[in-house]
């Protein structure tokens, strides 16, 4: 069990139209995760084949939870301590269902 000292909210976005037809992005929390956030340099020689990992600035590691197939890097973000991170990749290493590794790119405060 990983546990963790950081609580994060995995969110997905939906688009809604205003009265005048303008698109507005709304975020809703789909999972609350407890884990560890770590800085990732992204310059490992072993990740050159994987651009998503190489573009990441941080990694969030937590105990495994089932993630709905509708949650993709393209429509999700992770909120940690008031800061938003774009999700680059959600990985269940070797499909063992022991932990999740969520590769992130820092975007700043909400």
For 17-21, 92-96, 106-110, which range has the lowest pLDDT when averaged over its residues?
A: 106-110
User: pTM for the whole thing?
Assistant: 0.81
Query: Is 51 inside any structural domain?
Result: yes
Using pLDDT thresholds of 50, 70 and 90, give the confidence band for residue 99.
very high
State the Cα–Cα distance between residues 66 and 100, nearest whole angstrom.
9
Q: How far apart are the first and last CA of the chain?
A: 30
**pLDDT, averaged across the chain:** 87
Q: What percent of the chain has pLDDT over 70?
A: 85
Residue 20 has pLDDT above 60, yes or no: yes
Query: Is 15 inside any structural domain?
Result: yes
Q: H/E element holding 16? A: strand 6-17
Domain that holds residue 29: 6-109
- Yes or no: say if 62 and 88 are a contact pair by the CB < 8 Å rule: no
Residues 6+ apart with CB under 8 A from 41: none
How many domains does the structure of the chain reveal? 1
Using pLDDT thresholds of 50, 70 and 90, give the confidence band for residue 50.
low
């Amino acid at each position: 069990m990983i546990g963790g000292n950081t609580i994060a909210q995995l969110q997905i976005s939906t688009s809604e139209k205003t009265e005048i037809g303008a698109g507005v992005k709304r975020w809703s929390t789909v999972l609350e995760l407890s884990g560890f956030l770590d800085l990732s340099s992204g310059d490992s020689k072993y990740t050159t084949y994987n651009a998503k990992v190489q573009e990441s600035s941080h990694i969030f590691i937590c105990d495994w939870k089932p993630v709905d197939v509708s949650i993709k890097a393209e429509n999700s973000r992770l909120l940690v301590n008031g800061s938003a991170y774009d999700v680059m990749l959600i990985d269940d290493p070797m499909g063992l269902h022991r932990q999740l590794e969520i590769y992130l790119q820092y975007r700043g405060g909400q």
